[in-house]
Chains A and B, each alone.
Chain A
Amino acid sequence: GENVEQHPSTLSVQEGDSAVIKCTYSDSASNYFPWYKQELGKGPQLIIDIRSNVGEKKDQRIAVTLNKTAKHFSLHITETQPEDSAVYFCAASGNNFNKFYFGSGTKLNVKP
């Protein structure tokens, strides 16, 4: 099956700086890549996603890039704010879009 690796496991930035989280995947048939944000005591929440026919997608301060050749995708958060502090997960759909494979998570800490 698919294998998704996520780095770094923890990331600490100063408020206003940018944060980048990177993921790699193994199955070249994967075609859907969502990102989730999980706050303490809550379930993951979809924040942005990208499909294999798109190289980049942006939503306000959040952007995701996808490099299908290298099989990696990244989450970019600009102008970080303390409320961005959470655990972020990347995921890939694998060759069966009913199955999802998650990265191990990145704990982002935004210092005021």
Chain B
Amino acid sequence: EAQVTQNPRYLITVTGKKLTVTCSQNMNHEYMSWYRQDPGLGLRQIYYSMNVEVTDKGDVPEGYKVSRKEKRNFPLILESPSPNQTSLYFCASSQQGDYGYTFGSGTRLTVV
């Protein structure tokens, strides 16, 4: 089944403790992207990647890092999480930039 898999689904952590949210897609897509979803704000793009080793900032990149060492994986790294990063995070992939994205099921992160 074609899908984007994120892990974990739920995560509660403490301020300052580094964490990684993994994302993997099995569709051989070139493009991958991370979003955060907050009530009343829709989805906001954090980072995106056009191919292996090619990444760029979205609208809200502060406090996040990404890497794209393999085509299928695009992990999101929070080196020092803060409470304002409490949110619902989605990873998505697409065969090309100006094309519909397939989203994962989301990771609900709480930073206390």
Contacts and interface: CB of A to CB of B under 8 A. Distances in A.
A28 interface: no
24 contacts: A4-B42, A32-B99, A34-B101, A41-B105, A42-B106, A43-B4, A43-B90, A43-B92, A43-B103, A43-B104, A46-B102, A51-B98, A89-B42, A89-B43, A93-B97, A97-B98, A98-B31, A98-B56, A99-B45, A99-B58, A100-B45, A102-B43, A104-B42, A105-B42
Interface in A31-76: 31-32, 34, 36, 41-46, 49, 51
Interface of B: 4, 31, 33, 35, 40-45, 48, 50, 56, 58-59, 90, 92, 97-106
A64 to B, nearest CB: 12
Q: What 8 pairs across the A-B complex have the smallest Cβ distances?
A: A43-B103, A46-B100, A97-B98, A102-B42, A102-B43, A32-B98, A97-B97, A104-B42
Contacts of A112: none
Interface of A: 1, 4, 6, 31-32, 34, 36, 41-46, 49, 51, 89, 91, 93, 97-105
B53 to A, nearest CB: 15
A34 B97 CA distance: 12
A42 B9 CA distance: 11
Contacts of A34: 100-101
